[in-house]
Structure 1
């Protein structure tokens, strides 16, 4: 199950996700939206972040709880999405379902989403402080913005070794490379197929390959 919330102010926006597994394990995630946005857009960003987290756990179903009546009505086709941005968000959200993965949305009262609401507002504050137990990210563009990417042929370097180790526990044959990998790997994390550098009091840093 997923609880999400988004918040915005004059400086930035914040998205907060609380993920709970069937075993009652929880993952908390805060995303600072480093661009001007609105509450409705921040709500969509929070939901998209939550779905990405669920997909990274290889789950087949996400039950999303959010207190945004407008967004839930958009998704259930009770309201028509107005404006190009809102329509794009809706299309991206609907494209997440399929291929063995489904999403169910449940609207809840703001009072029932208090914890997510507090962290979303904290993420949009001027200074963001989180504990080591909370995943923290900074996002610099809307999730619906298309980025021009230049293809670079695959390469084999230290990041490839770290990713292979974190994903499949693949170890290099060279003894010196093995020792370096054992020292480096605790500093990094894999979420889905993306490599991040861990931070103690700062957001996780995404590696651009």
Structure 2
């Protein structure tokens, strides 16, 4: 299943773009397969030179070897690229065997892989240019994560799993839970007033002022585009 949505990125759908806009645009593709006790999954990430992303992932409900899963992942990504009118593609995977077989530098002797190689070569002929390069495992983590995720879910026939959205938190959860309130009885009122106005409470002693400054230096004062947050001490 193709998901033309990528969390926390500026992603543009490619479905309705004229083909001319893609003809001179180069793309990169990372793919990977995962086989474990839970099952088999494959994943691929397409990334354009203009910053567009397309992620695809599928669970395989048939028995296969690790190398078969790698070929399945490659085919999934190539088909997604062709569906989106990609003509120039750089392909990356961390499987040395699969990459060198697809580059015709290693002979394919496994009878289970020979049909896969022939099918990939047929897909390759539909691109204006396509190259295969090996990448270290640490450079293929996102495709690996997609493949592993797919392998862990049992999906009914004809069904699919909804998009999983990933957000980014830059602060601890307990540090952004209370909305600001103008309450003179709140423990943070004097600190918040000092931040906004640079003023200490009326009648504050030197020791009181010192405590406010110390608590300020040990605290987070957070603002977001839609909600002002209160000052909350860090742990």
> After TM superposition, is the score higher than 0.5?
yes
Instruction: Give the aligned partner of residue 193 of structure 2.
Output: none
Q: Which runs of 5+ in 2 are unaligned?
A: 1-27, 156-160, 167-235
Question: Mapping of 1:31-180 within 5 angstroms?
Answer: 31-99=58-126, 101-127=128-154, 131=163
RMSD of equivalent CA atoms: 2.1
Deviation at 1:77, TM superposition (A): 2.3
2:37 is the alignment partner of 1:5 = no
Conservation of the 8 A alpha-carbon contact between 2:34 and 2:147: yes
Q: What is the rounded CA distance, in whole Å, between the counterparts of 2:98 and 2:85 in structure 1?
A: 25
Question: If you compute each CA radius of gyration, which structure gives the higher value, 1 or 2?
Answer: 2
The aligned length equals: 134
TM-score scaled by length of structure 2: 0.53
Deviations 1:140-192 (A, max 9, x none): xxxxxxxxxxxxxxxxxxxxxxxxxxxxxxxxxxxxxxxxxxxxxxxxxxxxx
Deviation at 1:103, TM superposition (A): 2.0
Q: What is the rounded CA distance, in whole Å, between the counterparts of 1:88 and 1:99 in structure 2?
A: 18
Stretch moving more, 45-54 or 6-15:
6-15
Conservation of the 8 A alpha-carbon contact between 2:86 and 2:127: no
By relative contact order (CA 8 Å, sep 6+), the higher-ranking structure is: 1
TM-score scaled by length of structure 1: 0.59
